[in-house]
């Protein structure tokens, strides 16, 4: 009898192990891109996700374990670049403090898959809640009686420009060329009174121009504020009409804004730096005509294989 019981227990144990154990969660295989977001808590680029402009009727489930997370009637257009929901299926989503110490991360309550973040108090819907979710973390299951909805084709974002002056434009361009979201850069002259000035004229100090850079960037990848923050971190905004060993009006620190939003952003960042004790002298002035510099100045350090001698990155934000 004892042997029979032992054999029966052994058979039950084998069956138990073969089934994966009681309560084990079935995990779907993930692509490397899905794993980067779902497992390693990455973020997909805004305005690129499959469900950002998707309006089908049904249920959004977890990509990794198929647990139902959101109903389509909770989805709304927040304009943030990611699918947004103002409510979850009860008990489906777990909230916890993000690693950055300020945001609230949301994960699948069943398997722990990273979904995105939740924001409160924005007033975007009556529920005053926005679940900002990566499309790649979701899978859509349509209602059986609902017609299949197609995603609205995405219009590529229009490139934007920003104009800054912070000493020798060679060094300023060196850092902006390496920045995320930058499409192209061009150095030139701005803020003076002479038409189409030459480098020699600008260096004489008689034209009133500043050596400047015009940055063209992708607003879906980087914001104007990001560009402005980088500007304040790659030069010393406390130096008057100079930058390191380069001295003269053409080396002044200035933000040349093209609209009121850019002006407000520049003034906000200057206020932050002054609150930190920096005596910022950066001018914030309307952008006039930007005159491209001579060809040999464009991408100078890249062509020469050199590094800036008067610009050093210093984190300030």
- Can you give the residue ranges of every domain in the chain? 32-142, 160-304
Burial class (CB in 10 A: 0-12, 13-18, 19+), 30: middle
CB–CB of 87/124 below 8 Å? no
Average pLDDT over residues 66-84: 93
Give the class (CATH, top level) of 32-142: mainly beta
Q: Is 172 helix (H, G, I), strand (E, B) or coil?
A: helix
**Helix, strand, coil percent values for the chain (each to nearest 5):** 25, 25, 50
Confidence grade of residue 16 (pLDDT, cut at 50, 70, 90): very low
- Could you say which DSSP state residue 181 is in? T
Lowest mean pLDDT among 2-6, 34-38, 123-127, 291-295: 2-6
Q: What is the pLDDT of residue 34?
A: 95
Point out the residues that are catalytic.
132, 168
Average pLDDT over residues 122-126: 87
Q: In what order do the strands lie in the sheet with 68-71?
A: 68-71, 58-62, 138-142
Tell me the per-residue pLDDT of 204-229, one tens digit each, with 9 for 90 and over: 999 999 999 999 999 988 999 999 99
Q: What is the pLDDT of residue 69?
A: 97
Q: Is 33 helix (H, G, I), strand (E, B) or coil?
A: helix
Size of the chain in residues: 317
Distance CA 197, CA 184 (A): 22
pLDDT at 68 over 90: yes
CA distances from 316 to 151, 181, 272 (A): 41, 20, 9
What architecture is the 160-304 domain classified under in CATH?
Answer: 2-Layer Sandwich (3.30)
- Across the chain, mean pLDDT equals 89
CA distances from 40 to 31, 137, 221 (A): 13, 12, 20
pLDDT at 203 over 90: yes
Q: What is the pLDDT of residue 45?
A: 86
Confidence grade of residue 21 (pLDDT, cut at 50, 70, 90): very low
Confidence grade of residue 148 (pLDDT, cut at 50, 70, 90): low
Q: What is the pLDDT of residue 11?
A: 40
Q: What is the pLDDT of residue 239?
A: 97
Tell me the per-residue pLDDT of 32-53, one tens digit each, with 9 for 90 and over: 999 999 999 999 988 889 999 8
Confidence grade of residue 6 (pLDDT, cut at 50, 70, 90): very low
Quote the Cα angle for 49-54-57, to 5°. 135
pLDDT at 143 over 70: yes
Query: Which of 115, 120, 127 is closest to 82 using CA atoms?
Result: 115
Structure tokens at 233: 């971190």
Q: What is the pLDDT of residue 182?
A: 93
**pTM for this structure?**
0.55
Query: Which of 96, 140, 90, 139 is closest to 116 using CA atoms?
Result: 96
Confidence grade of residue 23 (pLDDT, cut at 50, 70, 90): low
Give percent above pLDDT 70 in the chain: 90
pLDDT at 102 over 90: no
Q: What is the pLDDT of residue 151?
A: 55
Q: What is the pLDDT of residue 1?
A: 45
Query: Which of 286, 254, 283, 251 is closest to 169 using CA atoms?
Result: 251
Termini Cα distance of the chain: 75
Which residues are CB-neighbours of 227 under 8 A, at least 6 positions away? 162, 164, 176, 179, 215, 217
Q: What is the pLDDT of residue 122?
A: 86
């Amino acid at each position: 009898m004892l042997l029979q019981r032992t054999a029966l227990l052994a058979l039950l144990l084998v069956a138990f192990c073969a089934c994966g154990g009681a309560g084990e969660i079935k995990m779907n295989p993930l692509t490397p891109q899905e794993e980067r977001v779902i497992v390693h808590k990455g973020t997909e680029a805004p305005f690129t996700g499959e469900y950002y402009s998707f309006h089908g009727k049904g249920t959004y489930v977890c990509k990794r374990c198929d647990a139902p997370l959101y109903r389509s009637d909770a989805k709304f257009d927040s304009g943030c670049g990611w699918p947004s929901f103002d409510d979850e299926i009860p008990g489906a989503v777990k909230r916890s403090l993000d690693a950055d110490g300020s945001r609230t991360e949301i994960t699948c309550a069943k398997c722990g898959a990273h979904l995105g973040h939740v924001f409160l108090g924005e007033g975007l819907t009556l529920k005053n809640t926005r679940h900002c979710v990566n499309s790649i973390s979701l899978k859509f299951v349509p209602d059986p009686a609902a017609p299949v909805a197609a995603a609205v084709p995405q219009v590529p974002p229009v490139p934007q420009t920003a104009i800054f002056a912070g000493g020798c434009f060679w060094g300023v361009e060196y850092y902006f060329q390496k920045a995320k979201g930058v499409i192209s850069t061009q150095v030139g002259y701005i803020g003076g009174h002479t038409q189409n000035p030459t480098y020699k004229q600008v260096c004489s100090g008689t034209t009133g121009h500043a050596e400047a850079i015009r940055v063209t960037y992708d607003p879906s990848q980087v914001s104007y504020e990001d560009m402005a923050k980088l500007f304040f971190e790659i030069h010393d905004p406390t130096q008057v009409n100079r930058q390191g060993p380069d001295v003269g009006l053409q080396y002044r620190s200035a933000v040349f804004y093209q609209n009121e939003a850019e002006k407000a952003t520049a003034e906000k960042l200057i206020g932050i730096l002054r609150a930190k004790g920096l005596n910022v002298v950066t001018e914030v002035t309307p952008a006039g005509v930007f005159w491209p510099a001579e060809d040999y100045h464009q991408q100078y350090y890249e062509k020469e294989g050199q590094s800036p001698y008067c610009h050093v990155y210093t984190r300030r934000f």
